[in-house]
Chain A
Amino acid sequence: MAAFDAEEGIISPGGIGFDINCGMRLVTTNLTYREVRPKLKELIDTLFKSVPAGVGCKGFVKVNKKEFTDVMLSGSSWCVEKGYGWKADIERTESYGRIDWADPSKVSEKAVSRGIDQLGTLGSGNHYLEAQVVHAKHIFDPETAKAFGIHTPEQVVIMVHCGSRGFGHQIGTDYLRVFEGVVKKYNIEVRDRELMCAPFRSTEGQDYYGAMACAANMAFANRQVILHRIREAFEKVFKTPAEKLEMNLVYDVAHNIAKVEEHEIDGKKKKVVVHRKGSTRAFPPGHPELCKLYRKAGQPIIIGGSMETGSHLLVGTEQAMRETFGSTAHGSGRTMSRAAAKKQVHGESLQKAMEKRGIYVRAVSMSGLAEEAGMAYKDVDEVIETVHNAGISKKVVKLIPCGNVKG
């Protein structure tokens, strides 16, 4: 992450990433693994059909250009108004699922036509939808876990990792080219062309900031539609309304985004453009931006590991505010390239081996599955211990995968 003075600093599309508002979403259920296990295959197969994934997938929500503009402006609220979610989902989303400086006039036609059919889609790569189990020994902070809706050993939860799809990717691409002219205009030297930037207050900087917010809102909406589809899938498989299954959103948090926030620097409050790329916001208890529900406990942080080893739920701290502009890690990170992983393991055999270990996986691409093998990732527990011991977020619960949908 990096933060720059909001008056004299810069904004960098490459410092945010092409997948604008790539993020995580965690949903509870009141089902235990014992109840889910007999129906696990049916559940994952249903989710695989309900949430399109992989190259060129289209979502089930069909919108026209006017409606897509509303999505750019309203994010999650648009979905809830259209019946794709619950009112309570909104406050359990970073920035309440809507960034209010979105400016659709700064978005290209190309970006719109790339993303208009992709609401409610996962994509591929390291994006996934995962069913996970909370074992009693993995509840590190029972009080905070309870505040987040995790209260019973062997409780099953659902995690989603995806972003703004082709829409955000195109906005990133468009502005990388725009900023190429900008660095010359403002005489800015960059070491890596990928990190080209513009003064935040320049026309180009503000144009990108407005377009980026459109992509961020689309990503909130994308994950909101996916949540709706997850609830529908559970209702179908368990023949019980999602409300009765207590399928509450724990939180939705972005890990590729830039925002103006107020932070204390050398004892003075200052407005800074916080770039979080592969970095999660980690606001502490009492932060005014958090909804009432989490004001006392602090902000939930969702950190994904590999599909074989597990993921974590943590909580934000004061120390993160003091030391890292209210930010922490976003995932375990790779230790092996995609090509190297594919040389060591085949998708089909990995799928079978995981099933033997109790993780049922459905994937559009078998080579894509091999690339995501657990051995290609760092040890998630080590990453979590590091951020926990550094004090920039605190462990709450570890989540163990039992089912996975991949692109």
Chain B
Amino acid sequence: MGKYKIIDDVAIADVAFEIYGKNVNGLFENAALAIFEQSADIRTIEGKKRESIALESDSLDTLLFDFLSELLYLKDAKQLLGKKSAVSITQSNKKYSLKAEIAGDTIDQRKHTLKSDIKAVTYHMFKVEKTKEGWAAFVVVDI
């Protein structure tokens, strides 16, 4: 089981990802990686800049939608080009809470090999599910 793969020809003008994780935290981290690798060649990112994310939601799929949308927000508002993330999700009283640490760089067009400026995470075919091997998600981003 890889971390994620790009599913061709689902959304021809956009990019569709199938994302995998042994557990929920891993699923979210791999989903973040899909976003990071769509935005830039992460080998050109040092990872010295840190940002924290704290979110709450009443379902795992809206939590993933909000988490990935937050990464796009940080890209524009804080100029954060992400390299990796550490995610911790807890559940209590039917609420899911997420805490994440994102490591990346301030965007520098001379230093980084940039790819796509992702516009948004879409709800088209959006899915988070438990599988035999662990967890999987389907995410289409608007390019």
Query: Which residues in A have some Cβ–Cβ distance to B below 8 Å?
Result: 14, 17-19, 54-57, 110, 113-115, 117-118, 123-126, 165-166, 169-170, 172-173, 176-177, 180, 192-194, 196, 333-340, 364-365, 367-368, 371, 407
Contacts and interface: CB of A to CB of B under 8 A. Distances in A.
Contacts of B126: 193-194
B124 A125 contact: no
Contact of A364 (B62, B114, B123, B124): B114
A114 B77 contact: yes
A54 B40 CA distance: 11
A169 B125 CA distance: 19
B133 interface: no
Contacts of B117: 54-57, 123-125, 407
A60 to B, nearest CB: 15
B143 A194 contact: no
Contacts of A56: 75-76, 79, 81, 107, 109, 114, 117
Contacts of B119: 18-19, 123, 125, 169
Contacts of B120: 18, 169, 172-173
Interface of B: 6, 8-9, 11-15, 39-40, 62, 65-66, 69, 72-73, 75-77, 79, 81, 107, 109, 113-117, 119-126, 142-143
A173 B115 CA distance: 22
B46 to A, nearest CB: 16
A177 B115 contact: no
A194 B142 CA distance: 11
Given A123-B117, A124-B117, A367-B115, A14 B123 contact: yes
Nearest to A56: B107
A335 B9 CA distance: 9
Given A177-B65, A177-B66, A334-B13, A110 B77 contact: yes
30 contacts: A14-B123, A18-B119, A19-B119, A54-B109, A54-B117, A55-B39, A56-B79, A56-B107, A57-B109, A57-B117, A113-B76, A114-B76, A124-B117, A124-B143, A125-B143, A166-B75, A169-B119, A170-B76, A172-B120, A173-B69, A177-B66, A193-B123, A194-B122, A194-B123, A196-B123, A364-B109, A365-B115, A367-B115, A367-B116, A368-B114
A54 to B, nearest CB: 5
Residue from A19, A55, A169, A194 with most neighbouring chain B CB atoms (10 Å): A55
A19 B107 CA distance: 22
B114 A54 contact: yes
Contacts of B125: 192
B109 to A, nearest CB: 6
